Amino acid sequence: MAKTDAERQKEKRARDKLKAEERRARLLAYSLKVEVYQGTADHLERIKQVTGIDEVHDLLTRAIHNISRLDDAALRDFLAKP
């Protein structure tokens, strides 16, 4: 029995979803869950407003990658300050 267009489309969506989930599973090292207190949330909100980066995960990823470019001494100095 031949499949209808709707059945073929449903199967394609299922395959595409599986591909996306497999890709994410290959790329994802781990999930990070953090409790954020009000002072930190205020700082994050200010940084989001100034940079125009709306997503916290994007902001944190960029910050981590940019901070990691510091040399060892600058990194220690940067993180020594509260």
- Model pTM score: 0.63
> For residues 78 and 36, what is the distance between their CA atoms, to the nearest angstrom?
20
Residue 39 has pLDDT above 90, yes or no: yes
pLDDT in tens, 7-19: 899 988 888 887 8
* Domain extent listing, the chain: 5-80
pLDDT in tens, 41-59: 999 999 999 999 999 999 9
pLDDT in tens, 57-72: 999 999 999 999 999 9
